């Protein structure tokens, strides 16, 4: 019975860690695109992408906190 309980706790932690990593990679890709668009005719797109990057950063930090709380 104890083993089943550990599995329930370990599995969400691993998945949260994986999601955090995925968000970090997505954020890096969005940042790279935003930087390429900055100062061009797509500057408005760049600004929007930087907003998305900030939101993803907040989500990543929240997932980190949740993962540490397990």
Residue 8 to residues 17, 38, 60, 69, Cα–Cα distance (Å): 15, 45, 22, 14
Whole-angstrom distance, CA of residue 37 vs CA of residue 59: 24
First and final C-alpha spacing in the chain: 19
Q: For the segment 27-63, what is each residue's pLDDT rounded down to a tens digit?
A: 999 999 999 999 999 999 999 999 999 999 999 999 9
Q: How far lies 46's CA from each of 12, 25, 51, 52, in Å?
A: 34, 18, 9, 10
**How high is the pLDDT of residue 10?**
58
- In the predicted structure, residue 5 carries a pLDDT above the cut 90: no
């Amino acid at each position: 019975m104890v083993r089943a309980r550990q599995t329930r706790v370990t599995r969400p932690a691993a998945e949260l860690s994986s999601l955090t990593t995925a968000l970090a990679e997505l954020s890096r890709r969005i940042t790279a695109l935003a930087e390429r668009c900055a100062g061009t005719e797509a500057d408005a797109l760049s600004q929007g992408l930087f907003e998305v990057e900030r939101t993803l950063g907040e989500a990543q930090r929240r997932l980190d906190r949740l993962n540490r709380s397990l």
